[in-house]
Amino acid sequence: MNLNQVTVPVTNVEDAIVFYEKLGLKLIVKALPHYARFECPDGNATFSLHQVEEMPTGAGAWIYFERDDLDEYVEQLAARGIFFEELPTDKPWLWREARLKDPDGNQLIIYYAGVNRKDPPWKLKEG
């Protein structure tokens, strides 16, 4: 099995398109006012937006985008007016993360994990 896409709720698909294009995602489907889909610049995953009347309550999903050049990328986005709640920080789980929210409050984490992404020291042993 392979993860195809993640879809997040938004109240205004057009506004969200502008935001996610600033992050570097490539718009491939624009079915306004209800839906949009993007290709991620690396890999095969896609990311989509689905219009809702109101945002769900609670913590919701956290969406992670990985970048090898995390610090430089965050600087570029900040220069384009993207606000970060947390600038790149080394985490105890051996990832370096920056945190921000999209216009509807969906939690986004842009991170770099290197080999620790799939093979942290505490990974379960097979068998």
Q: Give the pLDDT confidence of 79-121 residue by residue, as tens digits.
A: 999 999 999 999 999 999 999 999 999 999 999 999 999 999 9
Identify the structural domains of the chain with CATH numbers, from first to last: 5-117 (3.10.180.10)
Confidence of residue 47 (pLDDT cuts 50, 70, 90): very high
Side chain identity, residue 21: E
Closest CA relative to residue 103, chosen from 22, 2, 4: 22
Tokens 């570097």 -> residue? 24
pLDDT for res 15: 97
What is the rounded CA–CA span in Å between residue 125 and residue 110? Answer: 28
Mean pLDDT of the chain: 95
Confidence of residue 43 (pLDDT cuts 50, 70, 90): confident
CA pseudo-torsion sign 29, 44, 112, 126: positive
